[in-house]
Structure 1
Amino acid sequence: MGPRRRRWRRRAVKAALVAVGSALVVLRRLLAESRQHRDILQGDFRDSYANLTLKTLLLLSWARACCSGTPFLLKADDDVFVNVPAVATALSAWPAIPPRLYLGRVHWSVAPNRDPRSRHHVPVDVYPGSRFPPYCSGTAYVLSRQAAIAVLRGAAGLSPAVPEDVWVGLGAARAGLYPRHWARFGGSQRVPPGRCCLGRALLSGHRVRPPKMRRVWGEIAGGDGGCGGLMGWGALGVLRCRVMAWGDWLWGGGDGGDDVMGE
């Protein structure tokens, strides 16, 4: 985990890594890591895809109890690149941010997966509805502190046996909180290579391996030259990056986009 910490720490940004383990050697390593960086939360449940909702519940509960001075919470998966300083700058530049902000790449009118063989399976007795309420992609989303508290209250009593991002969306809907779409979060969509897209026009990208994350940080540190106009950060810049991603995928026989963000 050491190399992943490079360049990621910034003032006024609090980060926490959720980790679980049962072996004594793992616990000792966690203790040493916690003493060094003071950013680990340990939950009493097995680390598995099925327990992602429990991880998010742990994170939100910890943030409510320990981060009273933090206006925003950013949740991101470990294979997601997020330009955290740029996200903070963009939020600070908004003229009026709603107190209860739930921000990300929104999924609308998603039907529950009823296939018991799928890891996204949602039984009818857990959620009988035909469509989920709108929710932000779990790859990366932002909650204001008030929104996080509202989600926790709204999700009280909800079964964790639904995908993590759906669980947050259900809790938000029960609290009367609706997600706000932000196109600059990539979600699970394809993001092309190049310093003007990932990290600038688009502030998050999914399925990015650590070597690529380090390269992107290096490219961002090199300045913004050549990224103005249609290469910029506004709606046209986002659209341009989307078109590039799908062009890479189509012309490359399906090998562009996500794959080129790896090694």
Structure 2
Amino acid sequence: MNPVKTGGKDELRTEAVQKAVMACCLCQYRCRILLCICTPCILLGCLFIYITLAVCLSINSSTTPVGMPRNPPLPPFFIASGLNKSGILAPFPIKSFWKYDLSKEAHWNLIQYVMDRQHSPILHPGTNASQNISDLDRYSRSTQQSSGCFPNYEMIWTVSDYFSLPAQIQRFVISMHCRDYPLLIDQPRVCSKHQSEAPMLLLAIKSQSSNFENRQAIRKTWGRSGWVKGRVGKGGHVRRVFLLGTNHSGHNPGIKKNLREESNRYGDLLMWDFLDTFFNLTLKDVLFWDWFSKNCWDTRFVLKGDDDVFVRTPALLDYLNNMEAVRSNTSGQSKTMEDFVVGDVIASAVPSRLQSSKYFIPDSFYKGMYPLYAGGGGVVYSGALVLRLLQVSKRVHLFPIDDVYLGMCLQRLGVVPIHHPAFLTFDFPEGEAKEHCANHTVLLVHKRSPKEIQKLWVETLRPSRKCRNTVLRDELLEKKKKEQEQNL
């Protein structure tokens, strides 16, 4: 009996061992299955994280400009199309858009680029912008002398071919940093004398001390000061100033005495103590803008022109009154004329590289095309725009050609000059001047002698019956264009 009992126990033990072995094998099988399933998922997850980190690092490295710290803080007001779509930060650009290498640029382009950087709200968004000024910026500041208007001879070495350039370019390069010249002859009450309201039009005429006959012709004709009736409209108050510098003969006591007597008699001379040359005409602009802001700031319009132009002042007053009426009806009263400038607009102009030309600008001084600008023989802009021009001119280095400089300032203000065919700063097209009523179609025409100015004034002030109803050139050209289209 005992063997039988012992055999039963052995069978039970054997069965328990087998069950345990089977359970262990089943557990190992299940673990292997789970390991086979989870391992690829874990590897794919790690790969995804690695790729994501690599992409983010590559984006950050590509958007960081050379020489700048990585991950610079973005100013909240900077808006640009780019990668970031967060509602907290503004979008940032995909790649850098600000140039850093200017070693091959011309002198004016280089120093203007530096000035643009100093006033960039993107590069210097805070009040501590000076902390980020580079060596190039410090170089620019060293070229600007603050103690008086003296030649800066260090600038000789900044233009590669300085010693082979014409004398007028050389003089300009060593003095272009300065625009603070004393006023020798002033007319502080020219816009307020003998009138109860602000002038409608101030005539600011560039002249030279020796051009007395030109000034006299203007005083007797289209530049008369006082109330001027329009050709068909009401007209307006007109005031007049002549903008002068000094010249080599200006140091002659006799010349100075004559100018003082002329100023006392007519009260219309503004004279600054700088050399009156063609390349310094830009100084007349910026100095006049400053004088205007202090003495004639409420004048509605300014005509800036040469002393050899003829202007149909009554017709110009009609045109300006009409422009004010049109703009007030379309854009409201608050900012109707702050961007108004009209003249003979020149587009796609390039610097003259011909040394024999008085407009010659060397490649080492300036590269690129000129902005849109109105011919300097005669241009009209609003008094409100003058105040804006004065402010923006402090951020634009002087340029040798005054009308191009005006275009540079307008470009930075976002103001587009209006082209009007009745402003002829390059005279009539060939053959048109011979037409009987040609002079009655213009608002301004350039290059007229004092005798021609007086003759034209008499002719246009009392037009003949045939020319009495003549329209301006813009309407006339439009009419001819329609007639040609009908004939075709």
TM-score, normalising length: structure 2: 0.46
1:181 aligned to 419, 424, 438, which one? 419
One-letter amino acid of the structure 2 residue matched with residue 107 of structure 1: I
SS at match of 1:15: strand
1:149 aligned to 369, 375, 387, which one? 387
Judging changes above 3 Å, is the alpha-carbon distance between structure 1 residues 205 and 234 closer, same or farther for their aligned structure 2 residues? closer
Show the counterpart of 1:52. 281
Residues in 2 aligned to 1:73 and 1:182: alpha-carbon distance in whole angstroms: 16
Q: Which runs of 5+ in 2 are unaligned?
A: 1-211, 228-236, 328-335, 481-488
Residues in 1 aligned to 2:459 and 2:356: alpha-carbon distance in whole angstroms: 41
Q: How far off its partner does 1:206 sit?
A: 1.1
SS at match of 2:381: strand
One-letter amino acid of the structure 2 residue matched with residue 103 of structure 1: V
Residues in 2 aligned to 1:38 and 1:30: alpha-carbon distance in whole angstroms: 11
Show the counterpart of 2:351. 112
Residues in 2 aligned to 1:68 and 1:46: alpha-carbon distance in whole angstroms: 27
Judging changes above 3 Å, is the alpha-carbon distance between structure 1 residues 65 and 224 closer, same or farther for their aligned structure 2 residues? farther
Alignment of 1:240-259 (within 5 A): none
Largest Rg, 1 or 2: 2
1:35 is the counterpart of 2:264: yes
Alignment of 1:61-210 (within 5 A): 61-94=290-323, 95-96=326-327, 98-129=337-368, 131-190=369-428, 192-193=433-434, 196-198=437-439, 200-210=440-450
SS at match of 1:119: coil
Judging changes above 3 Å, is the alpha-carbon distance between structure 1 residues 125 and 63 closer, same or farther for their aligned structure 2 residues? farther
Write out per-residue CA displacement over residues 68-92 of structure 1, whole angstroms, 9 at most, x where no aligned residue.
Answer: 2211110111111111222111110
Residues in 1 aligned to 2:450 and 2:479: alpha-carbon distance in whole angstroms: 25
The answer on whether the counterparts of 1:79 and 1:208 sit within 8 Å (CA) in structure 2 is yes
Q: How far off its partner does 1:31 sit?
A: 1.0
Identity %: 26
SS at match of 2:405: helix
Judging changes above 3 Å, is the alpha-carbon distance between structure 1 residues 202 and 158 closer, same or farther for their aligned structure 2 residues? same
Q: How far off its partner does 1:126 sit?
A: 4.0
Q: How far off its partner does 1:121 sit?
A: 2.0
Higher share in helix:
2
SS at match of 2:371: coil
Show the counterpart of 2:69. none
One-letter amino acid of the structure 2 residue matched with residue 138 of structure 1: G
SS at match of 2:254: helix
SS at match of 1:14: strand
One-letter amino acid of the structure 1 residue matched with residue 452 of structure 2: K
After TM superposition, the structure 1 stretch with the greater mean CA deviation from structure 2, 48-57 or 184-193, is: 184-193
Q: Which runs of 5+ in 1 are unaligned?
A: 242-263
1:4 is the counterpart of 2:242: no
Q: How far off its partner does 1:120 sit?
A: 1.1
- Compare relative contact order (CA 8 Å, sep 6+) and give the higher one, 1 or 2: 1
